[in-house]
Amino acid sequence: MLKTPASPLRFDRLLLTGAAGGLGCELRPRLKAYCDKLRVSDINALQPPQDAPGEEIAPCALQDAQAVMKLVEGVSAIVHLGGVSTEQPWEPILAANIMGVVNLYEAARIHKVKRIIFASSNHVMGFYRQDQVVDAKSPPRPDGFYGLSKAFGEDVAQLYWDRWGIETVSIRIGSSFPEPRDRRMLATWLSYDDLERLVVACLTAPVVGHSIVYGTSDNQASWYDNTHARHIGFRPQDSSDIYRAAIEARQPVLDRQDPAVIYQGGGFVKATPHG
């Protein structure tokens, strides 16, 4: 966990959705340094904080519009990690990632929340090949229902910026784990510390409109060009390269005919969303 600056920009109340998920659990203690109150929400059970005065626990199903309206009341900004995060049949993705994101933005409009950090995904671009480099202006090529739902969420963010002036940074998160797991993740890995740096930069950049940024560490191999997101001020400080030798020793040969090797989405391009 990063050492918090002596005088960070602070928010009265931040909302973290998806707080029981993998990245939510990681960000939950980190975000407390940047706000007076942290409201945490998930459809799954959340454990009470052990040492977190000012933390508020607010369970909520994103497809429940009334519950989301109540959830968003009184918050200064939202870090939206909630929703389905893997390839699934359409129905749960429709409920959480399509209906849920519209409910969230409508609640933000009603309650005059001016900035949302939206956890998008590299899977918005999953059917680009691994020998291509994409940027924020490259047309989406989702690799499944999950990636499609995140592309939809980015479009919702653009609409609410254009029409109602709600700012969003859509973070196309790569692969955020304690360390990269395979050779694909040498290009997509995002350390937890760099995840924190990125979210804080997105929350505190003076002006973002609707911006798209790729969420990866400073990896030697990369398919993502963040030129159009330089105004956000994200400077990753970690790299997958320290794991390269060990990963290449474990995975010395790749099947060049395997779609998971050909395309940036990896295994998601082969996932069967119909159950």
pLDDT tens track for 19-52: 999 999 999 999 999 999 999 999 988 887 655 6
The one-letter code for the residue type at 208 is V
User: What strand order describes the sheet that includes 115-121?
Assistant: 55-57, 35-41, 11-17, 77-80, 115-121, 167-173, 210-215
Q: What is the pLDDT of residue 7?
A: 47
Judged against a pLDDT cut of 80, whether residue 60 lies above it is answered with yes
CA distance 275 to 268: 14
pLDDT recorded at residue 2 = 75
CATH homologous superfamily of 11-270: NAD(P)-binding Rossmann-like Domain (3.40.50.720)
Q: Summarize pLDDT for 242-274 with one digit per residue, the tens.
A: 999 999 999 999 999 999 999 999 999 998 876
Confidence of residue 87 (pLDDT cuts 50, 70, 90): very high
Q: Where are the domains of the chain?
A: 11-270
Q: Is 146 a catalytic residue?
A: yes
Phi, psi of 232, rounded to the nearest 5 degrees:
-75, -30
Of 34, 128, 146, 214, which one is the catalytic site residue? 146
Query: Contact 16/31 with Cβ under 8 angstroms?
Result: yes
